[in-house]
Amino acid sequence: MKIAFVGCGYVADMYRQCLDLHSGELELAGVYDRDSERLAAFTKTWGDRAYASLAELLAEPDLGVVVNLTDPENHAPVTRAAIAAGRHVYSEKPLGMTLSEARGLRDAAAKAGVRLAAAPSNILGEQAQTLWRAVREGAVGRVRLVYAELDDGMVHKADYRNWISRSGRRWPAEGEFETGCTFEHAGYVVTLLVAMFGPVRRVTAYASLLIPDKECDQPVHPAPDFSCGLLEFNGGIVARVTNSIVAPYDHRLRIVGDAGVLQVEEPWDFAGPVRLKRTATTRLDRFLERRFPLRKGRVVKAVRPVPFRSGRGRPPMDFLRGVSEFAEAVTAGRPGRMDADLAVHITEVTEMLQHPERYPRPATVSSQGECCGRWIGRSESRRKSHRPWITRRP
């Protein structure tokens, strides 16, 4: 299927680096960025066709999917323009910066008869599928509690001015600080949790801007750099989700059940191991747990080997897997895994985490019913029999 990128910034290089994983399946017709220097640097690096305008890109014959890789504040106008041109859209996350913006886009797509989906797609990765299978198979018994850390360290003190993408884009620190680490990262774990446990029912959150001075080269208006929220799922499971760019790097996701804990170190690393540690019950086990708290447990057998290697410029996740799944869904006329209803739900929960002042506390999630029609709301027994989504052979 023919696709085209709008936005040729930092993440566009990561998407482009994954294109060879989808040869014969996705064909990049061309790219566009309203910043002509950026567009030129990108097309010089990759040899792709540059469109002169968004209108020219949208008019490309047989274009299957517009991949919106603009910065979060520009997602809505670009997605809206593509929908108005009758194009299917896959958007980077978040779908919108507010629940109402995300809902507006979803409804506009439905009205126009086009399909809409959004990142993150790490739930389609081997690590997430392995984790999900272990949960389904009862590896930790009944799940009670989830701890999800998304602490990124003090990014404003890091040497991010030297974080340069393949085509020369400096990591957009100012934009990241203004969008907020919660909007940037929470979706990576909330999507996994919603896939495994169903829609979020209620959220109780706290967020704060702990370090207003981000020491940037130009003035910025940072969003909260710390948030902590409790997500309640049907069935009583509670997840504590923490986001910050203050506390030291820690991206552990721990799923605690009666019989043990499933743990991953990095929720967007497709090749990362899933570990299982049994609940300490004996005196000796409890002693060992206290004495050696870093013991991580045994590695769970993966659903399949990851069909690529990260490093040497290749990111740890296949950024185009969501686009590929979406293209397949559009072609087959079936619902997509990362469809707009899910993205609306993820956007609402994320907004509640980053901006708790906009909602009552605890906040009832209004979109919980909207995303449960397809794969998410399946009954527990059906979910148990549900196979991992990866069907393609490596």
Q: Which residues bind ligand NAD (CB under 6 A)?
A: 6-12, 32-35, 38, 54, 69-72, 74, 77-78, 92-93, 169, 171-172, 175, 184
In sequence order, what are the residues at sequence separation of 6 or more whose Cβ sits closer than 8 angstroms to the Cβ of residue 218?
A: 174
Q: Which is nearer to ligand NAD, 182 or 368 (CB)?
A: 182
Tell me the closest approach of the beta carbon of residue 230 to ligand NAD, in angstroms: 24
Tell me the closest approach of the beta carbon of residue 11 to ligand NAD, in angstroms: 4
Tell me the closest approach of the beta carbon of residue 71 to ligand NAD, in angstroms: 4
Cis ω for the linkage preceding 172 (within 30 of 0):
no
Closest to 115 (Cα-Cα) out of 79, 168, 70: 79
Closest to 276 (Cα-Cα) out of 130, 91, 108, 125: 130
In sequence order, what are the residues at sequence separation of 6 or more whose Cβ sits closer than 8 angstroms to the Cβ of residue 334?
A: none
Tell me the closest approach of the beta carbon of residue 103 to ligand NAD, in angstroms: 18
Token pair of 28 as six digits? 């990049």
Tell me the closest approach of the beta carbon of residue 185 to ligand NAD, in angstroms: 9
Q: Which is nearer to ligand NAD, 34 or 136 (CB)?
A: 34
Please identify the residue of the shown chain whose CB is closest to the bound ligand NAD. Answer: 9
Spell out where 111-252 has E strands.
116-118, 143-151, 200-208, 226-233, 238-244
Closest to 198 (Cα-Cα) out of 373, 377, 341, 382: 377
Burial of 292 (0-12, 13-18, 19+ CB in 10 A): exposed
Q: Which is nearer to ligand NAD, 164 or 288 (CB)?
A: 164
Question: Where does the chain have alpha helices with state H?
Answer: 10-17, 36-46, 54-58, 72-84, 99-112, 126-136, 173-179, 181-197, 283-291, 321-332, 340-354, 380-385
Q: Which is nearer to ligand NAD, 32 or 197 (CB)?
A: 32
Q: Which is nearer to ligand NAD, 11 or 102 (CB)?
A: 11
Tell me the closest approach of the beta carbon of residue 177 to ligand NAD, in angstroms: 12
Tell me the closest approach of the beta carbon of residue 54 to ligand NAD, in angstroms: 6
Tell me the closest approach of the beta carbon of residue 221 to ligand NAD, in angstroms: 16
Q: Which is nearer to ligand NAD, 174 or 328 (CB)?
A: 174
Classify 215 in phi/psi space as left (phi over 0), alpha (psi -120 to 50) or beta: left
Q: Which is nearer to ligand NAD, 197 or 270 (CB)?
A: 270
In angstroms, the CA 122 to CA 192 distance is 8
Q: Which is nearer to ligand NAD, 169 or 345 (CB)?
A: 169
Sign of the dihedral defined by the CA atoms of residues 35, 36, 41, 46, in that order: positive
